[in-house]
Structure 1
Amino acid sequence: MKLYQSIGPNPRVVLMYLAESGVRVERQFVDIMAAENRQPEFCAKSPLGHTPLLELDDGGCIAESIAICEYFDETAAGHALLGATAEERARTRMFVRIVDQLVVVPMTAGFRGAEGLPMFQSRMLCLPDAAADLKRLAADGLVKVDNMIGAGPWALGARFSLADVLLYSFVEFGAMVGQPLDPALTHLAAWRDRVAARSSATASANPQQGIGESA
């Protein structure tokens, strides 16, 4: 297998998952700033040009960060971050879905319509007129997530999960693209500090780390 990774919050989700679970896989860096992910060779593997991308031994490919993490969790990691039982896995997927819909989607769309517009406007539909409102949606989503996390320590209480990995990757991304965490969200601020102290947070910060690593 080979993991194609790049800069960005979605590739970081997979890198942080790998650091947490201990799963090892060969990696290749894709320079999205140079549009390597838009070249025919890569698009033959990932029709939408998305990174990260996992190429399986039989040549089949899996795109989308959560799908890749779930594949590893089910095949190589013994449900390390999804959960040991059907109920735990359902709760993890529930929180992942909430974060994706309330935070990830509006945050990234708001970024593409504002700070990221020069990079993305020739590649996909962007909504500059809606960027401010999309950012407001993401901020409102973080308020809801703050209430859900409460005293934590993690998104699902005592169990660190894929939901924490996804949320942390995008909270950190937001801080870099003009959508910082509101300090009034004290539950999330404390949670963010706890996640940042984990070795996986450091290990996933450099997308070129681990290139050439073998399974």
Structure 2
Amino acid sequence: MKLINSFGPNPRAVRMFLAEKGITLDKQDIDILGAVDNRQPAYLAKNPGGQTPALELDDGTVIGETVAICEYLEEKHPTPVLIGSNAKERAESRQWQRRVELNVTESMYNAFRYAEGYGLFKDRVHCIPVAAPEMKVSAQKWVKKIDGLIAGRNFIVGNEIRLADIILYCCMDFVKDVGQPIDPANANINAWFKRMDARPSAASSLSPNWADVKMRG
């Protein structure tokens, strides 16, 4: 199988997941910033959403969503555990993953698309610039809420890194330099972010050209 890869926080989340697992996959890099390769009929036939990342299996099946890719890889490579080792752990992990995605990362990504990233996305997705400020506010309210909920533990779900941590970290590391900084008042989130940022997988998962594009993806 191979990872269809590009610049961006979602592809980075899969790369970070792979690094934490110690899995090496062949990669096919495509130009998503230029909206060239991923908008061509050949790619859309494999992945109708036209987004990255995607995982192409040996039988030609293409899995085109970040979380679905990570869950597939967890089932194939169950250790080290990044989602859960039993039904309870997996449920708790997925609960936090959904909280993070529905309340924080979706708002942060859309706020970027509608504001700082508008020039990049205006011809790709339906953008609502007027919604961006309130989306930023909503996301930050939930970050503050999570800050309180994770008091006394090292990671979002508990004291071991999970997929929810990777998803939130890759998003916050991306948006913090493009209009959505991390609030220094959120002491628990800041401590968590430093722990995540210090992991070898954080550096190794960055795209080689991130400094050139001035975005951490």
TM range (shorter): over 0.9
Q: Deviations over 1:166-188 (max 9, x none)?
A: 11111101112210110000000
* Structure 1 match to 2:76: 75
- Comparing 48-57 with 139-148, greater Cα deviation is found at 139-148
Give the TM-score of the pair, scaled to structure 2. 0.92
Task: Tell me what 1:84 maps to.
Answer: 85
Which amino acid is the alignment partner of residue 157 of structure 1?
G
5 Å-filtered alignment, 1:79-158, equals 80-158=81-159
The runs of 5 or more residues in structure 2 that have no matched partner are 210-217
| Maintained 8 Å contact 2:196/2:202 | yes
Aligned partners of 1:207 and 1:50: how far apart in 2? Answer: 19
Map residues 42-81 of structure 1 onto 2, 5 A cutoff.
42-78=43-79, 80-81=81-82
Residues 1:16 and 2:20 are matched in the alignment: no
Q: Does the CA contact (< 8 Å) of 2:84 and 2:93 recur in 1?
A: yes
CA deviation string 1:128-152 (max 9, x = no partner): 0111111111111211111121132
Q: Matched residues, percent identical?
A: 45
- Which residue of the partner structure matches residue 181 of structure 1? 182
TM-score computed with the length of structure 1 as normaliser: 0.93
* Kept after mapping to 2: 8 A contact 1:29/1:207: no
- Equivalent residue, structure 1, for 2:214: none
Give, in whole Å, the separation in 2 of the partners of 1:127 and 1:152. Answer: 37
3-state SS, counterpart of residue 44 of structure 1: helix
**Gaps spanning 5+ residues in structure 1: where?**
209-215
**Offset at 1:23?**
1.5
Name segments (4+ residues, structure 1) moved above 4 Å. Answer: none
Deviation at 1:159, TM superposition (A): 1.6
CA distance in 2, matches of 1:147, 1:14: 27
The amino acid that maps onto 1:39 is Q
- Give the Å deviation of 1:79: 6.3
Which SS does the other structure have where 1:28 is aligned? Answer: strand
- Opposite residue 17 of structure 1, the aligned amino acid is F
Q: Given that residues 21 and 79 in structure 2 are in contact (C-alpha distance below 8 angstroms), is that contact kept between their aligned partners in structure 1?
A: no
How many angstroms apart in 2 are the aligned matches of 1:151 and 1:187?
Answer: 8
1:190 aligns with 2:186: no
Go from structure 1 to structure 2 and tell me whether the alpha carbon gap of 1:162 and 1:202 turns closer, same or farther (over 3 Å shift).
same
- Using the alignment, how far apart are the partners of 1:66 and 1:152 within structure 2? 23
Offset at residue 207 of structure 1 (A): 5.7
AA at the equivalent of 2:6: S
Which position in structure 1 is the counterpart of 2:42? 41
Aligned counterpart, 2:213: none
Q: Which residue of 1 aligns with 2:169?
A: 168
Deviation of 1:46 after TM superposition, in Å, equals 0.9
Please give the alpha-carbon distance, in whole angstroms, between the structure 1 residues aligned to 2:80 and 2:158. Answer: 17
Question: Deviation per CA, 1:70-94, whole angstroms, max 9, x where unpaired?
Answer: 0000112346201111111111101
Distance 1:33 1:10 in 2: 13
Amino acid at match of 1:135: K
Q: CA RMSD in A?
A: 1.5
Whole-Å separation in 1 of the counterparts to 2:205 and 2:138: 27
Distance (Å, rounded) in 1 between the aligned partners of 2:71 and 2:80: 8
Q: Residue 58 of structure 1 aligns to a residue in which SS?
A: coil
2: CA distance between counterparts of 1:89 and 1:23?
Answer: 21
Secondary structure at the aligned position of 1:50 is classed as coil
Distance in structure 2 (CA, Å) of the matches to 1:141 and 1:38: 33
